[in-house]
Structures are given as C-alpha cells and as structure tokens.
Amino acid sequence: MTSIILFLIVLGVLIFSHEFGHFIVAKKSGIRVDEFAFGFPPRLFKFKKGETAYSFNLIPFGGFVKIHDGEKETAPVLLAGVFFNLLLAWLLISFGFFIGLPTSVGSAPTGAEIKNVKIVIIDVVQNSPASDTGLKTGDEIIGFSKVEDVQNFIGKNKGIETEIKYKRGGEISSIKLTPRISPPPGEGAIGIAMDEVGILKLSWYRAPWEGLKMTYELTISVALAVYYFFVNLIKGLTGLEGVMGPVGIVGATNTVAHLGFSYLLSFVALLSINLAVINIIPFPALDGGRILFLLIEKIKGSPINTRVSNTIHNVGFALLLILMLAITYRDILRLI
C-alpha cells in the first residue's frame, strides 16, 4: 500500500507539472481555460474559480486542460507541458546536487569530490545468472574496490559456482551463481552492468548549472533511447519487454525509495524527462501530434476540419490506452 501511495504522489507531481505548464501559458496568453483537470473521468469532484473549473477525476494516469470552444491552442501552449516537465527535472536534479546526489564517478564535474563510492548494479539482464539468483538494479556489490576488480573476479571463475556478496536496503546478503563461459553478446558472464557511484554535493551556486547540464544530457540520452526503440520495434528487432508500465513503475519507485531520498529525486527527474520526450512525439493525442496539426494548418493555409482532427486524436488516444494496457499486462506477468 505504501508503494502505491508513493507512486500516486510521484505521478501526481509529474502530471500536475505538465498540465500546469499548459494552463499557465494559456492564461498568460489570454486564452480562456474552461477546465484544469487532474486525471481522466469519471469525475470525483470539482470547484470553480473565476472562469475555470478545477476537477479531480478517478483515473490518475493523466490530465487535461480544456480550452474554451472557439479559441485555438497555440504552439507555446502545447510546448509548455514538455517545458515544465524538463523544468521540474532540472529543479529536482539541482536540489539533489545541493543536498548530495548519487553520481557516476566517470561523469563527475571537474574538481568535484565524490564521497562514499560504491559499486552499484545499474542493470540486470533477464534470464541471466544474476536475475535467476535475485540480484536487482541498485544492489551494491561489496568486497571489491573497482568495477574492474569484479569483472576480473567473474572472468577467472567462468563455469565455476561462485559466491558474491551484496548490500540491499542496509542488509548484507550473498548469492551463489555460475558465470557463463559463453554468454550472449553484450550480456556479460553473469548478466549485469555495474558502475562506481558516490554522493556528489555541490554549492548552492554551482548546483543549478550542473543540474542544467545533467538535465540536458539525460534528455538527449532518453530521446535517443526512445528513437532507437521505435526503430527496432518497426524492424521487429525488439518488443515491449523492455518497456515499464504503471505496475512496473510502482515497484521501481518502491525500490528506489528504499535506497534513499536523493535516489528518489533522481528517479522522479528521469521519469519527468521521459514524460517530456514521449509527449513531444508527433503522434495523435500527444502534444507533438497536436503541434504537427498546427504545422499542417499553417502549411495548407486553412484549418483542419474539427471533426476529422478530433476523430484522429481520439483514435490516437485509444491506441495509447491499448498500448498501456498491454504493457501493464506484461508488468503483471513479471510479478506472477
């Protein structure tokens, strides 16, 4: 129950940030907003202040800003949701740097000191010796000083049952596994990726600048990852197994929260960047799709038929809903 509550809080912050961006830019642009909604209907309750109704709905996976009939959404209004999600990520990362943020030793700013360096698992391949024995992302490998030391140890024990000690949530445990002699390409002998991670704490004046740089770098990385995912999906080289839905994010949120508040800040920032990148995709019902329609109208010199555009966006929304249900179904199967 705690995991679900924490997830809903995180989701609420992300949705509110995105929709508030649309809302405030519309208001500042002189565009009338009839409704600012958190979640999708059925409606739980609402109140009205001025010309705008503020509603809270039952389905928490989204929200919307309803522009008054007869008024047109503009590109700045549509882009504002994406911008505010990136702004949220920047603020969270900057604050994280100020209080102490988990950072890879290899990506630390010049001259910055990283304390409490640990060897942390940053990815676990499914159906590998590591996943079969229960190792998870975020586990700390103990007994070694460098990632290279762990790699050399595993390399010397291929085909031999080996014990590895790790720390999770403050508790030290150990597992026994057998490193593969001939692992699939790119997976490694036991199927994990590791990094040396420590706590980087910066001054109040340096934290925003480094936060901005990290936000930019993460945005580029996420955008490239999304691009190559869709390219490989179209080519039939990948499926939905690498995509995490609401159920998966609940578990991930709980795992990250147990690692500490600063880890949770990083996770929420990354989710916010993902939300921004996905929303800018030129697909019907997403902000990017609506911006594409504005560009088409500008090129053709006349508005697109309202009935046609609404139908296309509704179909797009239905397809996105089906995709979410499929991903959620896969998340549930992983838990069974």
> Which are the contacts of 283, defined by CB distance < 8 A and separation ≥ 6?
289, 316, 320
pLDDT of residue 241: 67
Mean pLDDT over residues 294-309, rounded? Answer: 88
Residues with a catalytic annotation lie at 19
Q: Does residue 106 carry a pLDDT above 70?
A: yes
- Distance of alpha carbon 89 from alpha carbon 98, whole angstroms: 14
Q: What is the pLDDT of residue 320?
A: 86
Under DSSP, is residue 133 helix (H, G, I), strand (E, B) or coil?
A: coil
Task: With cut-offs at 50, 70 and 90, classify the pLDDT of residue 293.
Answer: very high
- Residue 157: what residue type? N
User: Which one, of 202, 205, 206, lies nearest residue 99 by Cα?
Assistant: 202
Question: What's the per-residue H, E or C state across 261-305?
Answer: HHHHHHHHHHHHHHHHHHHCCCCCCCHHHHHHHHHHHHHHCCCCC
pLDDT at 17 over 90: yes
Structure pTM? 0.84
Share of the chain above pLDDT 90, in %: 48
Question: Tell me: the pLDDT tens digits for 71-84?
Answer: 888 999 999 999 99
Rounded Cα–Cα distance for residues 12 and 17 (Å)? 8
Listed by start position, the domains of the chain span 1-100+203-336, 114-200
CATH 2.30.42.10 fits 114-200, yes or no: yes
Tokens of 156: 């010397």
pLDDT for the residue numbered 1: 61
Rounded Cα distance between 212 and 93, Å, is 8
Rounded to whole angstroms, the Cα distance separating 126 from 162 reads: 19
Give me the pLDDT at residue 312, please.
92
How many other β-carbons are positioned within 10 Å of the β-carbon of residue 77? 25
